[in-house]
C-alpha cells in the first residue's frame, strides 16, 4: 500500500511539473514574438474554397459577433485594458442585435439564453480591470462557442485551451497559433488547440 501511494504521488508531481515547465518553455521560446501585432490572427483566415464547405454557414450577424469577440480576445492578448473595455461594449451591442428569427423555436430559446448571459459578461468586461475582464472572458468564450454550435461559422475556428488559468480555460481563435488571452505577455503561448470547428 505504501508503494502504491508513493508511485501515485510521484506520478502526480511529475504531471504537475511537466505542465508548468511546458507553459514556461513555451513562454521562453516566444518572448521575441510578443511584440507581434495581435491582428496577425486575422491575416491567417482560411480562404481555400474546399475548406470553406461547412455543414453550417454562419450568418452575417453571428459573424459580426465573432469579429467583435476576436477583437476583444486580441486586446486581452495584448494586455490592453482600455481597448478591452471599449471592445466589450461593442461586443455587447452586436450580441444584442443578433437576429435569431430564422432558427427553430428550440434554437431560438437556447440562443436567447446564450445571448443574455454573453451580454452580461461583455458589459462587465467594459467596466473592469484586466484581471476581472479575463474572468468574464472565460465564461463569454463558452457562450460564444455555444452560439457557434447553433449558428455555424463562415471560417474554420480553433478552440484553444490553457490548463493553467482557473483550473483550465478555453477560448476561440481564427489561427492555430496559440496567443493566450488569459495571461497575455506573461505566458503568451501557454495552451494548445483542443479542436477545430468548421
Q: Tens-of-pLDDT digits for all 198 residues of the chain?
A: 555 444 444 444 443 434 444 454 444 343 333 333 333 333 333 333 222 222 234 455 899 999 999 999 999 999 999 999 999 999 999 999 999 999 999 999 999 999 999 999 999 999 999 999 999 999 999 999 999 999 999 999 999 999 999 999 999 999 999 999 999 999 999 999 999 998
Establish if 135 belongs to a structural domain. yes
For the chain, helix, strand, coil in percent to 5 are 60, 10, 30
Establish if 126 belongs to a structural domain. yes
**In a shared domain, residues 27 and 59:** no
pTM summary value = 0.72
**In a shared domain, residues 136 and 182:** yes
Q: Could you tell me which of 94, 103, 92, 73 has the C-alpha nearest to residue 180?
A: 73
Q: DSSP letter for 35, please.
A: T
The number of CA neighbours under 13 Å toward the Cβ of 132 is: 12
**In a shared domain, residues 12 and 87:** no
**In a shared domain, residues 173 and 128:** yes
Establish if 99 belongs to a structural domain. yes
Cβ neighbour number for residue 141 with a 10 Å cutoff: 23
Exposed/middle/buried for residue 87 (C-beta within 10 Å: 0-12, 13-18, 19+) = buried
Establish if 41 belongs to a structural domain. no
**In a shared domain, residues 14 and 54:** no
Provide the pairing of β-strand 192-197 with 169-173: unpaired
Contacts of residue 85, Cβ cutoff 8 Å, sequence gap at least 6? 125, 126, 127, 128, 133
**In a shared domain, residues 6 and 85:** no
**In a shared domain, residues 54 and 152:** yes
Q: Could you tell me which of 99, 93, 74 has the C-alpha nearest to residue 84?
A: 74
**In a shared domain, residues 99 and 25:** no
**In a shared domain, residues 78 and 108:** yes
Q: Which domain holds residue 19?
A: 1-31
Do residues 85 and 126 touch, judged by C-beta distance below 8 A?
yes
Number of domains present in the structure of the chain: 2
Establish if 75 belongs to a structural domain. yes
Grouping H, G, I as helix, E, B as strand and the rest as coil, residue 162 is strand
**In a shared domain, residues 76 and 120:** yes
Amino acid at each position: 500500500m505504501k508503494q502504491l501511494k508513493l508511485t501515485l504521488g510521484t506520478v502526480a508531481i511529475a504531471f504537475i511539473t511537466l505542465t508548468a515547465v511546458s507553459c514556461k518553455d513555451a513562454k521562453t521560446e516566444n518572448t521575441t514574438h510578443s511584440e507581434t501585432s495581435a491582428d496577425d490572427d486575422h491575416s491567417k483566415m482560411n480562404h481555400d474554397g474546399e475548406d470553406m464547405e461547412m455543414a453550417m454557414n454562419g450568418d452575417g450577424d453571428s459573424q459580426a459577433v465573432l469579429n467583435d469577440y476576436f477583437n476583444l480576445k486580441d486586446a486581452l492578448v495584448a494586455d490592453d485594458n482600455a481597448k478591452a473595455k471599449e471592445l466589450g461594449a461593442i461586443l455587447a451591442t452586436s450580441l444584442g442585435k443578433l437576429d435569431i428569427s430564422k432558427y427553430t423555436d428550440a434554437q431560438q430559446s437556447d440562443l436567447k439564453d446564450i445571448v443574455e448571459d454573453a451580454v452580461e459578461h461583455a458589459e462587465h468586461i467594459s467596466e473592469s480591470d484586466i484581471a476581472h475582464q479575463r474572468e468574464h472572458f472565460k465564461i463569454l468564450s463558452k457562450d460564444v462557442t455555444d452560439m457557434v454550435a447553433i449558428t455555424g461559422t463562415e471560417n474554420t475556428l480553433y478552440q484553444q485551451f490553457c490548463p493553467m488559468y482557473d483550473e483550465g480555460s478555453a477560448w476561440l481563435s481564427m489561427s492555430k497559433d496559440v496567443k493566450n488571452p488569459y495571461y497575455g505577455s506573461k505566458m503568451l503561448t501557454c495552451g494548445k488547440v483542443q479542436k477545430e470547428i468548421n
